[in-house]
Amino acid sequence: MKLKPNLLLTIFVASLVLMSCRGKQSATTGWDYDNPKNGGFEYGNFVEQQTGPGLVLIEGGSFTMGRVQQDVLYDWNNVPRRVNVSSFYMDQFEVRNVDYREYLYWVKRVFRDYPEVYANALPDTLVWREELSFNEPYTDYYFRHPAFREYPVVGVSWRQADAYTKWRTDRVNEDILIRYGILRIDPYQIAEENFNIDSYLAGQYEGLVRQDLKDLDPDMDVRKVRMEDGIFLPKYRLPTEAEWEFAALALIGNTVDERIYEKKIYPWNGHYLRNKDAKYRGRMMANYQRGRGDLMGVAGSLNDGYDICAPVDAYWPNEYGLYNMAGNVNEWVMDVYRPMSTVDVEDFRPFRGNVFMKKVIDEEGYIAEKDTLGRIQWEEVTEEECLNRDNYKKADNRNYLDGDMVSSLQENIGNYNEADASRSHNTTNMYRTPSNTRDGQARSLISDVTRVYKGGSWEDRAYWLIPGTRRFLDENKSRRDIGFRCAMDRVGPPTKMK
């Protein structure tokens, strides 16, 4: 019996209505997503990554990383090379004194039983001292006085800056759970009971629960937020050297389609004096030292307006909307320093400094109990776990293929302990000149604990304002001309969905 056309149309429309009522389905099995009647596997409704507080999106791409001007130091450093940076987020401003004081306030209140945690987080305000300068007022006032609260924090080591990014990750994600109505505000978190994103995901943080998510598993009622829900933001961190340099150059303002029609020396086009409009023509584009003894100009007509650092929103932003990517203070980046990094690193997301880690597992195969500060315990992956891998062979790759003794095939023959040598920061074949002392022995300043900083500062000359320039310092040291800003990974497509 043949069905009439009208009846066929009716059946087709009815099937469409039925399918629309069922919601999303698996393309491989045909089963419904988000349906508790068939087991409750969740597809979710994630659409777009939120932009975290203080961040702006940096759309990635390829660019020539490295030196763009004459190598005035003649140290064979920073050879230009084409690399690719994925999209990421970066702080619009440098981290301010008030931001860091908020961090210290939280640390002192939560870890009141562990005063060493607070002591280790304090910036070194004595970085302002000089033997033949009267800078003593800055040791008392620069970090604490409200007149300087919008100024960039200085005297912070790389390790302290890295710890700040972890704290910020936890506070931002805790606030997200509160705004979603999942947790209540808990001002009485003490020691191991403080919110930590890793311990929450591991099921080791309860907190003041307002309402957990409904679990579509028919055997469960409610559940905690999972990474798969897309509610949590990725972790704040320091930017890599390639990311920082790419963001500072901001070539998006100098392109037509994929053609870069004008290269930049600084984060802006042209000279270090403003020439865009008559009102500000001739004004300094950044806070830096013009020449010996000239840090702000002549009274009555101060050229850059500040004798030391300036507020983080001073001067003009670059094409990405980032302020003070040249001058004001230098900024820490993630990378371990090597002169030839641009030659050694990968084309895609270049970075030197990987130490691959894993969560500590107990005897029963579960994630080990969090420590007394409320943090999940981590350890380096073992060589046994790397045996069958093609993409890496050890946990610590900070000195991978950089020509040092640890990376040398000859030095790895016999009883030479590669991991121990790496941790002892031995002077390498490439960098023989010992100029630092650690453990009573002469060491090279170029080691696995030496980090890159970039950007130039209020007491640097114009050469250091060029994004391609780079310097280095021990990660445990700090200075009055070094601050930092945070970054965050962009997950999903490189541009915002329209």
Pick from 19, 444, 90, 476: nearest CA to 267:
90
- Over residues 220-230, the pLDDT tens digits come to 999 999 999 99
**Residue 412: its pLDDT value, please?**
39
**Residue 78: its pLDDT value, please?**
77
Higher pLDDT, 328 or 80: 328
**Residue 405: its pLDDT value, please?**
57
Higher pLDDT, 282 or 285: 285
**Residue 108: its pLDDT value, please?**
97
Q: What is the mean pLDDT of residues 227-244?
A: 97
**Residue 254: its pLDDT value, please?**
82
**Residue 274: its pLDDT value, please?**
53
- Over residues 137-187, the pLDDT tens digits come to 999 999 999 999 999 999 999 999 999 999 999 999 999 999 999 999 999
**Residue 23: its pLDDT value, please?**
64
pLDDT band at 305 (very low <50, low <70, confident <90, very high): confident
By mean pLDDT, which of 282-286, 314-318, 435-439 is the weakest? 435-439
**End-to-end CA gap in the chain:** 50
**Residue 9: its pLDDT value, please?**
43
CA distances from 89 to 55, 85, 215, 354, 496 (A): 6, 12, 32, 20, 12
**Residue 343: its pLDDT value, please?**
86
Q: Going from the N-terminus, what domains does the chain have, and what CATH number goes with each?
A: 51-180+231-349+449-498 (3.90.1580.10)
- Over residues 352-406, the pLDDT tens digits come to 999 999 999 999 999 999 999 999 999 999 999 999 999 999 999 999 987 655 5
Tell me the angle at which helices 158-179 and 97-110 cross, rounded to the nearest 10 degrees.
Answer: 80
- Over residues 15-61, the pLDDT tens digits come to 443 444 456 899 999 999 999 999 999 998 888 999 999 999 999 99
The pTM of the full predicted model, rounded to 2 decimals, is 0.88
% pLDDT > 70, the chain: 83
**Residue 77: its pLDDT value, please?**
75
